[in-house]
């Protein structure tokens, strides 16, 4: 299925353009950055993160996208269909330079089986969230989201800190690899189960995880000591969650918090069935994919049952957006939804203000450019927002850079456009060495319909209504984003979500100023509207106070 070609891709740095303008150059560099070996999980297979989330359909498609971007005029738009460039049309100079659609299937056909059949014929690609929309920034992005989620959990359950608390979780891949650091940044002790030794070594080498062992007893001893001393520590243990977690339940060992970041959304390419080493799993996947999926689904039910057992024993348990509960339920475990998803439990109040993971990347490649933007964000927003100030200080010291230097923080409606315009001015005056790319995750307030994740438990029951991501992509196109994408299945898998992304480039020009002023309002604004429309009072207040027009709520 996957095309494996050994080649090394790295985005150019500095101010020399390979394209006709910065909007195109930014798209090209960000596509390349997604495949930088420092950033991507399996770059030889074009896989960026999240199971099989890809940046381009094939290496041939990648080369053609790059060639086309190099030649693309300032009034042209490139169309990308599931990672393959299919057309260039004349549009206008405020239109997006690239429009992307990934993995979209008509709802009745939207199953993994049908997707894999089409993928096997080379007709479609899984774009995950930020892989196929060219705005992945490695662990730099997810560390902050995981840190914030755990900080919110600590405030709700443990008086604001995880000191002396143990967090048990699984998966140390592209996203999951951020968990150990996010736990220790909150003062806690992490035990992370990962089946692939290479992934563990990579995270330990990167400084994301403190120690690892293949011996569960040794791991538990380390954890117990750190818990007793209330010292932050992250320990990875080599093993399979569906083997290790039921074993921990049997031993009566109860952590304070349990979650999971294995690639449960994808039973064939993401989740490793119990009892199999990684090479054995790879062999079974190639030889008998149906049997592989059957065993993975069965193991996910076992894994999820252990999490429910931990909950019954008193642990705080939450789903971290990989659809483990959905898969376990499909495999016959009826109690799978006994514990909540992280969005209703910890994130929704932020979504009501249009807040979510806002991110930016320095095309110069210079960390100094990111440090300068950090200072500006601290100055402009830090005083009113203590959490944000603390995060930016911690990030500067503790978050390792991967690929092009990037930063992330949660800003909402009325803040993002201010930040974007400030960055644009800094590029114009030469305070920054090159343009800044501004985007966001699809884990977002207004651009996602994902009933087991972002829209789980909406107050008016509108969880599965997918008009919103489509409106998001349409309004961001009208507002002049540099590139816009519509995807299916990110985070939770085929059949479970529709979502949209936007990226806008601050290149110091007036054209960019216009784009930023519009897109960085329409995009978070729709998040506020989505929640106000669903009956959330705080979102309605935000809309009224910050001047978002909602005809249906007018007197």
Token pair of 336 as six digits: 């799978």
Residue 79 backbone phi and psi in degrees, to 5 = -105, 130
Output 96 or 138, the one with its CB closest to ligand NAD.
Answer: 138
Contacts of 223 (CB under 8 A, 6+ apart): 166, 189, 191, 233, 235
Q: Tell me whether residue 199 is annotated as binding.
A: yes
Q: Tell me whether residue 127 is annotated as binding.
A: no
Q: Kindly write out the interface string for residues 307-346 of this chain, putting x where it contacts ligand NAD by CB under 6 A and - elsewhere.
A: -------------xxx------------------------
Strands 257-258 and 166-170, how do they pair?
parallel
Q: How far is the CB of 50 from ligand NAD (least distance, A)?
A: 4
* Residue 521 burial (CB count, 10 A): 21
Q: Tell me whether residue 491 is annotated as binding.
A: yes
Q: How far is the CB of 537 from ligand NAD (least distance, A)?
A: 26
Q: How far is the CB of 86 from ligand NAD (least distance, A)?
A: 26
Q: How far is the CB of 129 from ligand NAD (least distance, A)?
A: 6
Output 361 or 505, the one with its CB closest to ligand NAD.
Answer: 361
Buried b / exposed e over 67-92, threshold 16 CB at 10 Å, is ebbeebebebbbebbbbbbeeeeebe
Q: Tell me whether residue 274 is annotated as binding.
A: no
Q: Tell me whether residue 271 is annotated as binding.
A: yes
Cα dihedral across residues 522, 463, 169, 115: positive or negative: negative
Interface residues for ligand NAD in 174-193 (CB under 6 A)?
A: 174-176, 193
Cα dihedral across residues 374, 376, 382, 385: positive or negative: negative
Q: Tell me whether residue 413 is annotated as binding.
A: no
271 near ligand NAD (CB under 6 A)? yes
- Residue found by looking up tokens 């514990």 in the block: 339
Could you give the CA distance from residue 362 to residue 438 in angstroms, rounded to a whole number? 9
Output 119 or 194, the one with its CB closest to ligand NAD.
Answer: 194
Q: How far is the CB of 87 from ligand NAD (least distance, A)?
A: 30
Contact (CB, 8 A) for 233 and 223: yes
Token pair of 127 as six digits: 């774009």
Tell me which residues are annotated as active site.
409
Output 274 or 422, the one with its CB closest to ligand NAD.
Answer: 274
Please identify which residue in 96, 170, 190, 326 interacts with ligand NAD, judged by CB under 6 A.
Answer: 170
Could you give the CA distance from residue 191 to residue 514 in angstroms, rounded to a whole number? 47
Please identify which residue in 95, 143, 151, 172 interacts with ligand NAD, judged by CB under 6 A.
Answer: 172
Interface residues for ligand NAD in 131-150 (CB under 6 A)?
A: 142, 145
Cα dihedral across residues 284, 285, 291, 296: positive or negative: positive
Size of the site for ligand NAD (CB under 6 A): 34
Please identify which residue in 43, 51, 255, 341 interacts with ligand NAD, judged by CB under 6 A.
Answer: 51
Interface residues for ligand NAD in 480-499 (CB under 6 A)?
A: 491
Q: Tell me whether residue 500 is annotated as binding.
A: no
| DSSP states of 306-353 | HHHHHHHTT-EE-B-SS-HHHHHHHTT-TTGGGS-BHIIIIIHHHHTT
Token pair of 509 as six digits: 């020009």
372 near ligand NAD (CB under 6 A)? no
Rounded to the nearest angstrom, the gap between the alpha carbon of residue 181 and the centroid of all alpha carbons in its chain is 16
By beta carbon distance, the residue nearest ligand NAD is 173
Residue ranges in contact with ligand NAD by CB under 6 A: 41, 49-51, 142, 145, 170-176, 193-196, 199, 240-242, 261-265, 270-272, 320-322, 443, 491
Binding site, by residue number, is: 50-51, 128, 174-176, 194, 199, 261-265, 271-272, 320, 491
Binding site for NAD(+), by residue number, is: 50-51, 128, 174-176, 194, 199, 261-265, 271-272, 320, 491
């Amino acid at each position: 299925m996957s095309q494996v070609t050994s080649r090394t891709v790295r985005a150019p740095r500095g101010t020399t353009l390979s394209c006709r303008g910065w909007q195109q150059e930014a798209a090209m560099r960000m596509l390349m950055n997604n495949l930088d070996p420092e950033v991507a999980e399996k770059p030889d297979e074009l896989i960026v993160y999240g199971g099989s989330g890809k940046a381009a359909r094939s290496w041939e498609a990648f080369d053609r996208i790059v060639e086309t971007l190099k030649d693309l005029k300032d009034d042209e738009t490139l169309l990308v269909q599931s990672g393959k460039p299919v057309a260039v049309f004349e549009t206008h100079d405020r239109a997006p330079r690239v429009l992307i659609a990934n993995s979209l299937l008509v709802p009745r056909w939207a199953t993994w089986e049908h997707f894999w059949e089409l993928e096997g014929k080379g007709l479609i690609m899984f774009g995950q969230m930020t892989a196929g929309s060219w705005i992945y920034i490695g662990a730099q992005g997810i560390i902050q989201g995981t840190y914030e989620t755990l900080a919110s959990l600590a405030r709700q359950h443990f008086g604001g800190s995880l000191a002396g608390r143990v967090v048990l979780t699984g998966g140390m891949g592209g996203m999951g690899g951020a968990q150990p650091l996010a736990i220790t940044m909150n003062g806690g002790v992490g035990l992370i189960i990962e089946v692939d030794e290479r992934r563990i070594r990579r995270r330990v080498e990167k400084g994301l995880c403190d120690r690892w062992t293949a011996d569960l007893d040794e791991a538990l001893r380390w954890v117990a000591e750190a818990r007793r001393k209330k010292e932050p520590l992250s320990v990875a243990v080599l093993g399979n969650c569906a083997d290790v977690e039921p074993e921990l339940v049997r031993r009566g060992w109860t952590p304070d918090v349990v979650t999971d970041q294995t690639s449960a959304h994808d039973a064939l390419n993401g989740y490793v069935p119990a009892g199999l080493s990684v090479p054995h799993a790879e062999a079974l996947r190639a030889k008998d994919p149906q049997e592989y999926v059957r065993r993975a689904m069965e193991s996910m039910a076992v894994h999820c049952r252990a999490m429910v057992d931990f909950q019954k024993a008193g642990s705080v348990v939450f789903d971290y957006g990989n659809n483990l509960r959905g898969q376990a339920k499909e495999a016959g475990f009826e109690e799978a939804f006994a514990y909540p998803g992280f969005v209703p439990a910890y994130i929704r109040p932020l979504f009501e203000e249009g807040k979510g993971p806002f991110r930016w990347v320095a095309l110069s490649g210079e960390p100094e450019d990111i440090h300068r933007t950090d200072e500006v964000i601290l100055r402009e927003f830090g005083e009113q927002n203590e959490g944000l100030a603390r995060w930016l200080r911690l990030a500067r010291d503790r978050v390792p850079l991967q690929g092009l230097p990037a930063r992330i923080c949660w800003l909402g409606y009325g803040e993002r456009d201010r930040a974007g315009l400030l960055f644009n001015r800094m590029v114009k005056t030469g305070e920054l060495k090159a343009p800044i790319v501004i985007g966001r995750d699809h884990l977002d307030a207004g651009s996602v319909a994902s009933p087991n994740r972002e829209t789980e438990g909406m107050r008016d029951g509108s969880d599965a209504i997918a008009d919103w991501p489509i409106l998001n992509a349409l309004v961001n196109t009208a507002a002049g984003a540099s590139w816009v994408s519509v995807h299916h299945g990110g985070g939770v898998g085929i059949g479970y979500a529709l979502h949209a992304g936007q990226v806008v480039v601050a290149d110091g020009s007036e054209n960019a100023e216009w784009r930023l002023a519009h897109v960085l309002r329409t995009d978070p604004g729709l998040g506020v509207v989505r929640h106000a429309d669903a009956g959330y009072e705080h979102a309605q207040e935000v809309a009224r106070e910050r001047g978002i027009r909602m005809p249906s709520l007018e007197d």
